[in-house]
């Protein structure tokens, strides 16, 4: 049974909601592959922490592995402690649990969680809608091309539509890669996957279009041979069989 149109609409809304739900917003956002000086406030009983306060922190990668564990941050009594990260090469949401030990023997725990993105910007709803809209448009055009390939008999049109479908597929993979790179940092494996698929589709440009040209030349040659035989008095079916038989 075919799905009613309103069900398609609800299904699309569900997909969009799911995508937005995994786009996380962090209080601290840094750019990938730069030196990151992670800072966090240090207060005790409503005042700035004493100079002798020691703050130790751990950094946990988005995949759950440890970048560093229980390392002492720099604190000079200004109320702001800092630690320079040894690595900023991976996009995603990082956990940074910390504990500060005060001179009187008491301690308090907290966190300085942060996010690393390709450009250091936090995800924006408007950009998400723009990218998702472009992906949807490209996907619809691609589906139209595939449908046209099944419905159209004209050979020249088929070649053109097939070439257009490949270009649209390449654009679709590019948009998915950039969307994942910019917004889906909480799922680190998605971005490399679309990147590899996009690069692969780029590499395939030359062999795909070379194959289309070769096939087109063969088809044109066949048509010319068939037309010559028809001109000599052969019917179309017999001329086709003869022309194809010559290549064997």
User: What's the pLDDT score for residue 93?
Assistant: 85
Phi-psi region of 68 (alpha: psi -120 to 50; beta: other; left: phi over 0): beta
Helix (H, G, I), strand (E, B) or coil at 119: coil
pLDDT of 18 strictly over 60: no
Cβ atoms of residues 238 and 246 within 8 Å: no
Indicate the DSSP class of residue 105: S
Tell whether pTM > 0.85: no
Of the given ranges (58-67, 122-131, 191-200), which has the lowest mean pLDDT? 122-131
Which residue do the tokens 């590499």 mark? 203
The more confidently predicted of residues 69 and 26 is 69
Residue 243, number of CB atoms within 10 A of its CB: 20
The more confidently predicted of residues 212 and 168 is 168
Residues 6+ positions from 88 with CB-CB distance below 8 Å: 30, 31, 32, 33, 34, 35, 36, 116
Of the given ranges (7-11, 121-125, 185-189), which has the lowest mean pLDDT? 7-11
Task: Please report, rounded to a whole number, the percentage of residues in the chain having pLDDT higher than 70.
Answer: 73
User: What's the pLDDT score for residue 201?
Assistant: 84
Cβ atoms of residues 149 and 169 within 8 Å: no
Strand-pair partners of 40: 81
pLDDT band at 61 (very low <50, low <70, confident <90, very high): very high
In the chain, domain spans: 29-117, 125-246
The more confidently predicted of residues 138 and 85 is 85
Cβ atoms of residues 195 and 188 within 8 Å: no
User: What's the pLDDT score for residue 202?
Assistant: 81
d(CA 130, CA 182): 13
The more confidently predicted of residues 146 and 181 is 146
- Report the candidate in 47, 24, 46, 38 with the shortest Cα–Cα distance to residue 98: 38
Average pLDDT over residues 71-95: 92
| CB-count exposure of residue 70 (10 Å: 0-12, 13-18, 19+) | exposed
DSSP states of 151-215: H---HHHHHHHHHHHHHHHHHHHHHHHHHHHHH-TTSTTHHHHHHHHHHHHHHTHHHHHHHHHHH
Helix (H, G, I), strand (E, B) or coil at 129: helix
- CATH fold of the domain at 29-117: Immunoglobulin-like (2.60.40)
- Mean pLDDT, the chain, as a whole number? 78
């Amino acid at each position: 049974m075919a799905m009613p149109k309103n069900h398609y609409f609800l299904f699309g809304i569900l997909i969009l909601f799911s995508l937005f739900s995994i786009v996380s917003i962090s209080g601290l956002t840094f750019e990938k592959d730069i030196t990151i000086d992670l800072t966090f406030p240090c207060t005790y009983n409503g005042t700035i922490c004493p100079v002798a306060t020691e703050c130790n922190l751990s950094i946990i990668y988005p995949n759950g592995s440890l970048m560093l564990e229980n390392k002492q941050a720099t604190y000079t009594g200004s109320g702001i402690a800092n630690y320079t990260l040894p690595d900023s090469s991976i996009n995603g949401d990082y956990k940074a649990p910390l504990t500060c030990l005060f001179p009187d023997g008491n301690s308090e725990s907290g966190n300085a969680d942060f996010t690393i993105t390709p450009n250091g910007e936090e995800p924006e709803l408007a950009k998400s809608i723009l990218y998702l809209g472009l992906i949807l448009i490209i996907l619809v055009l691609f589906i139209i091309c595939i449908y046209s390939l099944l419905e159209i008999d004209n050979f020249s049109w088929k070649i053109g539509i097939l070439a257009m479908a490949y270009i649209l597929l390449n654009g679709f993979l590019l948009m998915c890669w950039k969307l994942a790179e910019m917004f889906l940092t909480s799922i680190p494996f998605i971005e490399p996957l679309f990147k590899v698929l996009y690069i692969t589709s780029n590499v395939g440009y030359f062999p795909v279009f070379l194959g289309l040209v070769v096939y087109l030349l063969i088809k044109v040659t066949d048509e010319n041979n068939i037309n010559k035989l028809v001109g000599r008095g052969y019917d179309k079916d017999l001329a086709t069989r003869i022309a194809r038989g010559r290549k064997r």
